[in-house]
Chain A
Amino acid sequence: MTLTNDDDGEKPITTLKILIIGESGVGKSSLMLRFVDDTFDPEQAATIGVDFRVTSMLVDGNRVKLAIWDTAGQERFRTLTPSYYRGAQGVICVYDVTSRSSFEKLEHWFSEVDTYTTKGDAVKMVVANKIDMAGREVSREEGIKFAKRHRTLFIEASAKTKEGVQCAFEELIEKILQTPGLWENDRPAFRLGQNTARQDDGYCGC
């Protein structure tokens, strides 16, 4: 699986919508920028409303287009974000390992995800960010325990040092592609893993 922004002329097999949510200041925008541009700006301004980036990556030889939506974490912006949950196949919930409160708020974020995602079985992932920093307040074990309870993917990462970032996105996207019925193929007559009728026109190229 390789990430590339270059357009090699190959048509993507699908477009996936990934949403990044979590408390203010946990590093949501930094994670996105690290993944998309491979940069880190310590002076990343606080997001207002929503922002997004479009990129694409190769999964097993198939090009997958990604629209990554980054949201503001502030309470007052929170009424806005549910609109953008619509149609998301993947949701990344971020907390800051140096902030206990950001971890404790995860519960709330998850209930919001369950309420607003329209694809019932959107793949969820918990990302514990800022592991490079001193003064850790949330242990890895606690994070894993939470993820297990909510049946989500889990990874510890640092947008600053790059650790775990690429892996987080890759895991999430692979999991989405493995979930039948979650994604629609953009190419006609190329349907994978449909859970509804019309199995007969199926094509399996992956």
Chain B
Amino acid sequence: MTNTEPPEFRPGAEFPGSEEIFEISDFTVVTELEQFVVSVEAIIHEWGLSGTETRPGPPKLTNITKWDSKSEKIQFGEGNHLRITHFWPDIEEALEALPTPSTSSIAHLGYHSLGLASPDSDFYPRNNIVAMYAATEHIVFSPWHPEDDKIVNEDQKNTIISAIRIAALSCDCELPMFLQYSGLERQLYHGVLITRSTVTMYEGAHLQAGQSRHSHLSGLLQMFKEKVKCPIPLIDASDIRVSAQIEITHKITSAEMNDDQLIDVCRVPFGSELNPIKSLVLIALWPNLKEEILNEDETLSDLDPMSAFAWSARVNFTHVDRFLDDALHKLLDLPISKFHFETAALLLGIDTNSPTSGARAFDGLTGSSRSLRIGASQSLTNPAGLNLEDPLLPLPNEIMNYWIGEIFMKNRSETPNDEMQSLELKEKHFDKKKTEKEIVEELKKKFKMVKSAPEGSVTARLGNAFTHSLVKANYGPTTFAQVWYEFVRKLRYFYENNKDIPGMTSVEYPDLSMCLLHQKIEMLQCCITARKKRHALYESCNNFTNDEFFDAEEDLSDDSQREEQIQCTEPFGRLRLLDEEMMLKDHPEIPIYVPITQDREPMTEDMIEEHAHYLSSLEDGQERTEAQTDMLKSDMQAFKAANPGCSFEDFLRWHSPKDIIWNEEERKWELSERMLIPENSWLNCWEHSMPVPVVHQKRLFNESKRAEEILSWLESSKCGQISELIRPVVFAQAVRYLLNEVEPVLSLIEPEKIVFSTIRACRSGSRDDFLEAAREIRRIETILLHYQAIFSALDLPMAKNGPARDVVALKEFVLKLIEEEKLIKDIPEDCVISHGVPIIGGPNEFVGDSMQKLILNSKQKSKPNVTKRQYVLRWLVPRPSAQSRLCPQRLFASLSKKEFRLCGAYTDDAIFR
């Protein structure tokens, strides 16, 4: 490592990039090692860490202590670089100086040496070096490049450590300093701490497996004693203190969900097929005991979790496919899949042109190579056997019929069932609960503005059925297509049989604040209503001719030719008297009647857009007016028919009373100025209107034509289009479901994000916005899924009957478990100590009791599955000689199936040797 070549002159600015490299151009030093030492010293000075013995000690660490760090790049030798990092607990409050040691026997120890003797940092989970070496504030040298700068042999290690030692000494820096050995993931450190009275060497070992004689506490104690080589008789030395911590892992076996196709299609599918919990870990702790109190060797062990001093727990999750997330992504992928331009019928292999198409003729059997799936569970769920023509559909007929029946069910309630409510623990009142409930209610209120389909509507239930069709692995675009195909077929059935679509009887106009699909279904209902109304009108009218009525039924063309010039002398199509006092201008003995009028055509948003586009394509206001006179004309015709002998003034008294003014002086009705304008549209229209009652008029709303348009539009929609139409419904239903369930996990999530991202996506319709919404939904779905999984693992029924205090404790515990799991995932390095959520009261309290039942008693296992054992041994003895003062010795050991780790800190008196 060291050589005698003179260093080259390297100005720091020569190196590109933002990394500042510490480089001292000092020609008084000769070797590269000395160059390195000088660089380290410079950094220690710059960071203000020299003379640290005067600094107050670090505070007591807690689990919420935040860590801060600062790094520099430092050159070592010709081509290597190390990273030097200073770690310290970031505590806002002024660091409290450690109280001066009460016993004079350890008065010579600095605070870092004292830390070695204190149990405070035992099994500290947030920082590996603290856990391994009890070094609260420290400096670490690690390879800059994980491979190229790796320390791979003892010689390299010893050389660098001695250099660090020189630098620390000359700077008077009393901070523990460590060098990371081997690969970063091994977390193997060696180091040194030099104070004015002691020298501590930190020695690490990391093996895949240790020797069997070291695999228990008594073997470790033996080894520790051999290493320390206590120079005085053991009988005179103080006791070794021992802390131990064991982990018992309970693996959750992934139970498959019941594969029942008669699922509740009207509820949003939620959950996962496999259990998301991989394992639950119980951590039992015995802190700071005398050596003889705790025994463990090959044959016996005092480490029975039931006798532990403290319990904590941890959960490990595994990635599983979640129903909602799975479905939403499949839905979003449809428009970019190869199926996107196929219609539902095509995808199913249904020949819509064949004369028997209505009777479900499938060409799949006769050689069509289309990707028709055979329902995997068909033979199981249909032992009776189906029609031979059917088997090529993904969902068997009876199941499909059940689905469709559920979708079109009237007043189907979608509120969560009782089981779910118990999960939410609604009955337990708890102060915080109120505000959580309020938050959710507020979000639900905000979500009402989403452009989708109303909760509980046919469309919403269709959305849920679609979600189901997308969920399971063996479902695919064909199932999706089948649901659509059957749904549209059912809509046609309703229309052709003059039956109201369930739950839509009161629809007058399509609700434009809803999504297009819902508007279209509402529009279809408007057509059904209009047709029923028209039929009723014909029936109530005595003068109609039979053939005309039946013609109208099938007539899909513009029925202008039917509008004959009927000269009415008899009043026709009167609805009611306008006002008893109002008489015809030219026939003061006849009152004015309000005629039966036609309704305007209801419009969906795309129709309005089209109409507005058409209007704006017209040259001027005059043309636009002309284009919109149809209703005015219809009204005028109807009025004329109902009021033979009437005048324009009479019409205005009904239709636009502001335009007819009573002239007191001349005692007559006069037209307003604007109606007197020659050639004005109103007058023109009046003059060209014949008396025609509504029954004989051209229909303003040709409902049969519209209905046919809507149905064939739905039928011919391609899969990509269908998925875009149904998107707002499926997403809104997912959010509504989650909002009903999130209350217990509210503290872990940001529910407003699903609300706003979904509102935004439903409004813009952009796939990117939907992807964003899907991401937010997934986040909440995962946490909720985890929450519910832990609850059911811990056997919820017990909790239901227990006192409220227990349930609240359990709920908080579960939330902390999830929170902790998230936190651990965020820590990049491999944690030597796994941190658990404390179980207050251990097995004696409700939470611990649940854990114990699950982990220790489950499956009548005689021996709990201990997966990890960790120990800290502490000893205060004179070292290296009997004349030396007391020096702290410490050994941390971690034993698991995967690794055997030893971290020793051995201190020598530097003065009395």
A interface vs B, CB < 8 Å? 23-25, 42-52, 54, 73-77, 79-80, 82-86, 116, 118, 120, 195-198
Contact between B605 and A86, CB atoms less than 8 A apart: yes
Contact between A196 and B759, CB atoms less than 8 A apart: yes
Contact between A49 and B673, CB atoms less than 8 A apart: no
Bound state CA distance, A42 and B672, in angstroms? 11
Does B628 reach chain A (CB closer than 8 Å)? Answer: yes
Q: A45 and B615 in contact (CB under 8 A), knowing A77-B631, A116-B512, A196-B760? A: no
Bound state CA distance, A50 and B597, in angstroms? 20
CB-based nearest A residue for B678? A43
Q: Is the interface of A mostly helix, strand, loop or mixed?
A: loop
Contact with A along B751-783 (1 / 0, CB 8 A): 001001101100000000000100000000000
CB-based nearest B residue for A194? B760
Does B413 reach chain A (CB closer than 8 Å)? Answer: no
Does B658 reach chain A (CB closer than 8 Å)? Answer: yes
6 closest Cβ pairs, A-B complex: A49-B628, A25-B658, A196-B756, A24-B658, A86-B512, A45-B680
- Offer 5 A-B interface pairs, CB within 8 angstroms, sorted by A: A25-B674, A45-B681, A46-B656, A76-B655, A197-B757
Q: Which residues of A contact B512 (CB under 8 A)?
A: 82-83, 85-86, 116, 118
Interface contacts beyond A24-B656, A24-B658, A77-B631: sample of 5 additional A-B pairs, CB < 8 Å, sorted by A: A42-B673, A76-B631, A84-B612, A85-B512, A118-B451
Contact with A along B697-711 (1 / 0, CB 8 A): 000000000000000
Q: Which residues of B contact A44 (CB under 8 A)?
A: 674
Question: In the complex, which of the residues B603, B621, B632, B756 contacts A83, with contact meaning CB atoms closer than 8 Å?
Answer: B603
CB-based nearest A residue for B509? A82
Bound state CA distance, A75 and B657, in angstroms? 10
- Counting chain B residues whose Cβ lies within 8 A of the other chain, the interface size class is 35 or more
Interface residues of B in 668-687 (CB under 8 A from A): 672-675, 677, 680-682
Bound state CA distance, A105 and B59, in angstroms? 73
Bound state CA distance, A67 and B107, in angstroms? 86
Does B629 reach chain A (CB closer than 8 Å)? Answer: yes
Q: Which residues of B contact A118 (CB under 8 A)?
A: 451, 512-513
Q: A45 and B677 in contact (CB under 8 A), knowing A25-B672, A83-B603? A: yes
Interface residues of B in 586-610 (CB under 8 A from A): 597, 599-600, 603, 605, 608
Q: Which residues of A contact B655 (CB under 8 A)?
A: 74-76
Q: Which residues of B contact A195 (CB under 8 A)?
A: 756
CB-based nearest A residue for B776? A197
Interface residues of B in 451-486 (CB under 8 A from A): 451
Min CB gap B823→A, angstroms: 24
Contact between B677 and A80, CB atoms less than 8 A apart: no
Bound state CA distance, A126 and B687, in angstroms? 37
Bound state CA distance, A51 and B759, in angstroms? 31
Q: Which residues of B contact A51 (CB under 8 A)?
A: 621, 624-625
Does B635 reach chain A (CB closer than 8 Å)? Answer: yes
Contact between B597 and A52, CB atoms less than 8 A apart: no
Q: Which residues of B contact A83 (CB under 8 A)?
A: 509, 512, 603, 608
Interface residues of B in 624-678 (CB under 8 A from A): 624-625, 627-629, 631-632, 635, 655-656, 658-659, 672-675, 677
Does B449 reach chain A (CB closer than 8 Å)? Answer: yes
Bound state CA distance, A46 and B632, in angstroms? 12
Bound state CA distance, A44 and B597, in angstroms? 27
CB-based nearest A residue for B510? A83
Q: A48 and B759 in contact (CB under 8 A), knowing A43-B677, A80-B600, A118-B513? A: no
Question: In the complex, which of the residues A42, A52, A76, A196 contacts B635, with contact meaning CB atoms closer than 8 Å?
Answer: A76
Bound state CA distance, A116 and B605, in angstroms? 13
Contact between B616 and A52, CB atoms less than 8 A apart: yes
Q: Which residues of B contact A23 (CB under 8 A)?
A: 658
Q: Which residues of B contact A82 (CB under 8 A)?
A: 509, 512
Contact between B753 and A79, CB atoms less than 8 A apart: no
Min CB gap B304→A, angstroms: 52
Q: Which residues of A contact B603 (CB under 8 A)?
A: 83
Min CB gap A78→B, angstroms: 10
Residue with the greatest number of chain B CB neighbours at <10 A, chosen from A48, A82, A116:
A48
Q: A46 and B608 in contact (CB under 8 A), knowing A118-B512, A196-B756? A: no
Contact between B631 and A80, CB atoms less than 8 A apart: yes
Bound state CA distance, A47 and B759, in angstroms? 37
